[in-house]
Amino acid sequence: MIGHISPPLGIALMLNNYVHDVATGLLLLSALWLGWSAKDLGATPSAETLGVFRASYQRCLRFVWGSIGVIITTGIVRTVYFMRFEWLPAMGRGLVPVLILKHVLILSMLGAGVFAWVQLRRRLAGLPGWNTESSEETRPNLNPATVEEDD
């Protein structure tokens, strides 16, 4: 049967699609979170504050690139099986408008995530000291084993 999908393959596709949608949401959420956090920096943050935020930003950026990789990889699988796994079953149940709405929402989230990241980068570029590389003097010491405690 052409449209038949075995139960194990169906479960794998369902998990793939779930991971794809979650990664898309995380792209948007990470940009919004950092954007909200950047508001706390103020107009002229101290070198130490900027260093801590830069470290968080760099970690989050690696996370975002990982999310983009997951979105692309799982999106390829989703595209290959879309007609058989999503479209045809939705047609049989009269759920095509719901499926279309879901994809419009997911694409909107993806677009909003990309837009939020672009806006965040523009905002950070305007901060004094953001575009200069963090030197050892301004980079915060985040290693608890080497931090000197005040008596």
Largest CA distance in the chain: 76
Q: So what's the pLDDT on residue 92?
A: 87
The total number of structural domains that make up the chain: 1
The DSSP annotation for 11-26 comes to: HHHHHHHHHHHHHHHH
3-state secondary structure of 134: coil
For helices 47-82 and 96-125, the axis angle rounded to 10 degrees is: 160
**What residues contact 64, with CB distance under 8 A and at least 6 apart?**
27, 30, 31, 117
**Is 41 within the bounds of a domain?**
yes
DSSP 141: -
**Is 133 a domain residue?**
no
What pLDDT, on a 0 to 100 scale, did the predictor assign at position 9? Answer: 93
Query: Which residues are CB-neighbours of 53 under 8 A, at least 6 positions away?
Result: 37, 38, 41, 45
Is residue 21 situated within a structural domain?
yes
Boundaries of domain holding 111: 7-125
Looking at residue 63, its pLDDT comes to 87
pLDDT of 40 reads 85
Cα–Cα distance, 64 to 34 (Å, whole number)? 12
Each residue's pLDDT, cut to its tens digit, for the chain (151 residues) gives 456 789 999 999 999 999 998 998 888 888 888 888 888 888 888 889 888 999 999 998 898 899 999 999 999 999 999 888 888 888 888 889 998 998 899 889 888 888 888 888 888 888 888 886 544 444 445 555 655 555 4
Q: For residue 12, tell me if it sits in a domain.
A: yes
- In DSSP notation, 78-95 reads HHHHHIIIIIHHHHHHT-
pLDDT at 45: 86
pLDDT given for residue 139 in this prediction: 47
**Is there a domain that residue 136 lies in?**
no
At residue 148, the pLDDT reads 54
In a domain, 141, yes or no: no
CA distance 98 to 18: 16
Model confidence pTM above 0.75: no
In a domain, 27, yes or no: yes
Whether 106 is covered by a domain: the verdict is yes
